[in-house]
Amino acid sequence: MSAPIIAIDAMGGDFGPRNIVQASLACLSATPSLQLILVGQAPLIEELVARHSGVDRSRLRIVNASEVIAMDERPSQALRGKPDSSMRVALDLVASGQAQACVSAGNTGALMALSRFVLKTLPGIDRPAMVAAIPTQRGYCQLLDLGANVDCSAENLYQFAVMGSVAAEALGVVRPKVALLNVGTEDIKGNQQVKLAASLLQAAPGLNYTGFVEGDGMYRGQADVVVCDGFVGNIVLKSSEGLASMIAARIETLFKQNLLSRTVGALAMPLLKRLQADLAPARHNGASFLGLQGIVVKSHGSASVQGFQSAIQRALIEIQENLPQRLHGRLGELL
């Protein structure tokens, strides 16, 4: 296999290019085969790179892009009005084969719209979905869609289930259990889309569809792949992030109450922070767009240096696992 090359949208996210450049250079030193292309305002990026010593410039390219897509910009504006945005140029590098993946911490809606426009969806897929790994009592589950599609038909949910199953397989899960997120586990529960998607999934050959799962069942680890529309998925994910932060804050307060508990608190806090990070996957590990003819990983807008590194790492795994090609093959069988 040739060396993996990842195009980085250096201008996206809430904190500008500083964190992104730092994370990119850290990945570059950690993975000797990796090549990166930093896309954005070249003079600014050059200056940020120059602050670091020992950078292997033979594996780092900087490509200029004059425009930046704002975090609150409408996707349609981003699509039509900014042909030279860092996000667009990074995706163009994937489309032209100069890179195998794109990582961005920018505007999610714009990234999805541009990805669809530039890379196109895989045959049989109407809409790409955003997926991330959520921790459960038994390990992890792949939750999708996380917000790319607020309104979904039963067919969309069906396609998400197929894509989530293939992604879980690529991550090493054997015969992943696929479930639809619902308000109950009985057949009569749920809205029309969910009920219809259930009947489509029951008839799907070669898919390990296990039925409906409730919100608590998801965290109990009842499924490896949990499917919902992007409205529900986004709210579940962000609520979970918020709840985990709240619990961590309360426990921190609790541990400050006396000397003995302060002592143990000091021991427990790193573990609690790790848990909290684990529970905010989009912020910390990046979320993948599935269903495109190329790899796109979305890092959280307010991701830390470490968070952005994890997103690059996820892109690297997907390159190694050849995810879009694997998806393409399985979709041919299943759709």
Contact 3, 36 (CB under 8 A): no
In the sheet with 35-40, reading across from the earlier edge strand, the strands are 60-64, 35-40, 5-9, 101-104, 295-298, 287-290, 129-136, 139-144, 225-227, 178-181, 209-213
For a second copy, the closer CB: 230 or 324: 230
Per the listing, tokens 């599609």 go with: 149
Q: Say how many C-beta atoms besides its own lie within 10 A of residue 186's C-beta.
A: 10
Q: How many positions of this chain bind a second copy (CB under 8 A)?
A: 57
For a second copy, the closer CB: 16 or 215: 215
By CB under 8 A, is residue 145 in contact with a second copy?
Answer: no
Burial, 318: exposed, middle or buried (Cβ in 10 Å; 0-12, 13-18, 19+)?
A: buried
By CB under 8 A, is residue 13 in contact with a second copy?
Answer: no
Q: Which of 36, 62, 133, 218 binds a second copy (CB under 8 A)?
A: 218
Assign 15 to helix, strand or coil: coil
Chain center to CA of 217: 22
Q: Which of 106, 135, 281, 286 binds a second copy (CB under 8 A)?
A: 135
By CB under 8 A, is residue 289 in contact with a second copy?
Answer: no
By CB under 8 A, is residue 263 in contact with a second copy?
Answer: yes
Closest separation in Å from C-beta 151 to a second copy: 5
Torsion of CA 245, 249, 251, 253, to 10 degrees: 180
Site track 41-60 with a second copy (rule: CB under 8 A), x = hit? --------------------
By CB under 8 A, is residue 264 in contact with a second copy?
Answer: yes
Q: Which of 42, 70, 204, 251 binds a second copy (CB under 8 A)?
A: 251
- Where do contacts with a second copy occur on this chain (CB under 8 A)? 72, 74, 135-137, 147, 150-151, 181-183, 186, 188, 190-192, 214-220, 228, 230-232, 234-247, 249-251, 254-255, 260-261, 263-265, 267-268, 271-272, 275, 279
